[in-house]
Chains A and B, each alone.
Chain A
């Protein structure tokens, strides 16, 4: 299969000035600065096939954004090699820019005081799009991304979700072969996140756009990507198909049950042990009891959610119930633990 991107021992280090606290430290640093080399990306090897949807995951400071910036030609690496769409990003940046699209959650390409329609027009000139083709493409994207009501509203008056939809649509205008997204769902509510994932998935399906995204959100991985690469401390910790990852790691959910007022808070713990389940069903662990609230850790690989909820509602009158995904930090901690127990330090 044709490769969309490949890296070999790609690395990036930054020189960071180290300063002791306080004024004395500042004065010392002024005359005798101390520099430390910080490894942001530690010689990683990646290979992504055309049409794949890949998530690059990791906690803050893991090197996700630095990796994406090297792959898009924004940053020059200090070690290793990379080709993206057949080009070396930092040497053939201009040519590459026609073949890729970028969405940086924190850095907007839309003009703040102008409606998106004006920025779309400018972008069409940036990518030198044929006028007829551009108009057709813009109208199609406006329809698919449901941007009609916002296209003539200044960006400053759009909600974050509306703005992100415009950002992503803008990045598709020139039909990129590869779309790089850096935290595209950061700060968005559940409904908007889901809509954004859906439209990216649709573009991937219809135009075979390769999607390479960084995220903090396990939901982005589950619902959008076919493969996940977890990086930690600049190196690749895990590279696995999401289906496998889901079975192994994303099957964990947390259910928080708030019992109705009629239940006596003081005896909830006793009640739980005595009446709820005895013994505890397989794949369910009692994580905590706080007042009338009970938190259960569920492994969906071993427990059926429907049966579990039916059993819970039979056992007690429930005032509220929430189901949460594990946080990415929890997943990474889990992976880290797994790799350690496999033998030695994780690679």
Chain B
């Protein structure tokens, strides 16, 4: 095992130990996120009760959409929990400790936090898949691919948005907006969007790749869509990493007190 792999493993173990330090809080937070997602599914259940098919989407597809979105967000938040907080970390000058250590800075920052609510999201995604997904080796493999692409897109988009803080200073607001709208857009069936909105969903805010996953990857496997989805995930991850790396030269540090938790 390479030094970086051993470091990642140690970092995740420390994160988990830190999250488990408050057991009750851990179970409450993870449980509440599970319940929160279930309430949204209930809303869609009521909706599809009145309109059984919307632009080719059925209740099962929307449930899988939630499984992919919440599951992808979940594993990304558990293993790379700082991805929504890059802007805040950069603008408040909290990169000093990471920069003084001999590990890739972005990887070190991302793995330094584990989101407990993310664990709830991930478990929710798995349970929903077990409920409505195709429980064959092929179905499971495609779901794993969908989770992978979804998580990488979440991380990539937020690293790009967060890295803007190196140039515009306080980018917390804009990163927060991107985060909120990205999550929201990944939970709506892509079929309801048309024209310019659809173009935006597959370019600037690539939530469409996650939203179309239940149809284009899992139900009717479309090689072109699968390639585009993997390509978009790779592009945003690479672009985020390059932008962050370029931004380090502009890092201004700061004098805020900082503790790792």
Interface residues of A (CB under 8 A from B): 14, 65-66, 69, 72-76, 90, 93-95, 97-98, 100, 102, 104, 106-114, 118-119, 121-122, 124-128, 154-155
Apart from A114-B18, A126-B7: 11 A-B pairs, beta carbons within 8 A:
A65-B253, A69-B253, A73-B100, A74-B99, A76-B248, A107-B96, A112-B260, A114-B14, A121-B10, A125-B6, A128-B7
Q: Are A122 and B18 in contact (CB under 8 A)?
A: no
- Complex-state Cα separation, A110 to B260, whole angstroms: 6
Instruction: Check B39 for interface membership: any CB of A closer than 8 A.
Output: no
Report the nearest A residue to B105, measured CB to CB: A93
* CB atoms of A74 and B260 under 8 A apart: no
Q: Is the CB of B10 within 8 A of A108?
A: no
- Is the Cβ of B101 less than 8 Å from the Cβ of A126? yes
For the complex, is B258 an interface residue (Cβ under 8 Å from A)? yes
Within 8 Å of chain A (Cβ to Cβ): is B103?
Answer: yes
Residue of A whose beta carbon sits closest to that of B21: A113
CB < 8 Å neighbour of B14 from A94, A98, A104, A122: A122
Q: How far is the CA of A126 from the CA of B112 in the complex (A)?
A: 12
Cβ A107 vs Cβ B3 within 8 A: no
B53 CB–A CB distance under 8 Å: no
Other-chain residue from B3, B100, B108, B252 in contact with A72 (beta carbon distance below 8 A): B100
CB distance from A70 to the nearest CB of B (A): 10
B positions within 8 Å CB-CB of A: 3, 6-7, 9-11, 14, 17-18, 21-22, 94-97, 99-103, 108, 248-253, 255-261
25 CB-based A-B contacts, threshold 8 Å: A69-B253, A72-B99, A72-B100, A74-B253, A75-B251, A76-B248, A90-B249, A95-B102, A97-B101, A100-B100, A107-B94, A107-B258, A111-B14, A111-B261, A112-B260, A113-B22, A114-B17, A114-B18, A121-B14, A122-B10, A125-B3, A125-B6, A126-B101, A127-B101, A155-B259
A65-B253 Cα distance, complex, nearest whole Å:
10
| Cβ of A117 to closest chain B Cβ, rounded Å | 11
> What's the least CB distance linking A193 to chain B, in Å?
19
Answer whether A108 and B17 are a contact pair too, CB < 8 Å, given A74-B100, A122-B11. no
Residue contact B102 to A94, C-beta cutoff 8 Å: yes
**Which B residue sits closest to A69, measured CB to CB?**
B253
CB distance from A235 to the nearest CB of B (A): 20
**Which chain B residues lie closer than 8 Å to A155 at the CB level?**
259
Q: How far is the CB of A122 from chain B (nearest CB, A)?
A: 5
CA distance A114 to B16 in the complex (A): 10
Q: A94-B102, A126-B7 are in contact. Are A76 and B249 (CB under 8 A)?
A: yes
Find A127's partner among B22, B102, B260 (CB 8 Å cutoff).
B102
Q: Which of A74, A98, A128 contacts B96 (CB 8 A)?
A: A74
Do the beta carbons of B14 and A73 come within 8 Å of each other?
no
Task: Give the docked Cα–Cα distance between A93 and B98 (Å).
Answer: 11
Which residues of chain A are within 8 angstroms of B261 by Cβ–Cβ distance?
A: 111-113
Q: Give 3 nearest A-B pairs by CB, closest first.
A: A97-B102, A125-B10, A112-B261
Interface centre among A76, A112, A125 (most CB of B within 10 A): A125
Residues of A within 8 A of B22 (CB): 113
Docked pose: A124 CA to B97 CA in angstroms:
15
CB contact between B103 and one of A104, A113, A114, A126 (< 8 Å): that residue: A126
State the CA gap A95–B103 with chains docked (Å): 10
The complex places the Cα of A114 from the Cα of B21 at a distance, in Å, of 8
Which A residues lie within 8 Å of B253 (CB)? 65-66, 69, 74-75
In the complex, chain A residues whose CB is within 8 Å of the CB of B94: 107
A108 touches B258 (CB 8 A): yes
Known contacts A108-B258, A126-B101; decide if A69 and B96 are in contact (CB<8 Å): yes
Please, which residues of chain B bring their CB within 8 A of the CB of A111?
14, 18, 260-261
Cross-chain contact A119 with B257 (CB below 8 angstroms): no
Cα A137 to Cα B137 with chains together (Å): 49
Q: Whole-angstrom distance from the CB of B233 to the nearest CB of chain A?
A: 26
A74 touches B257 (CB 8 A): no
Q: Residue of B at shortest CB range from A74?
A: B99
The complex places the Cα of A192 from the Cα of B25 at a distance, in Å, of 35
Residues of B within 8 Å of A127, CB to CB, are: 101-102
Q: List chain B residues, Cβ under 8 A from A73.
A: 99-100
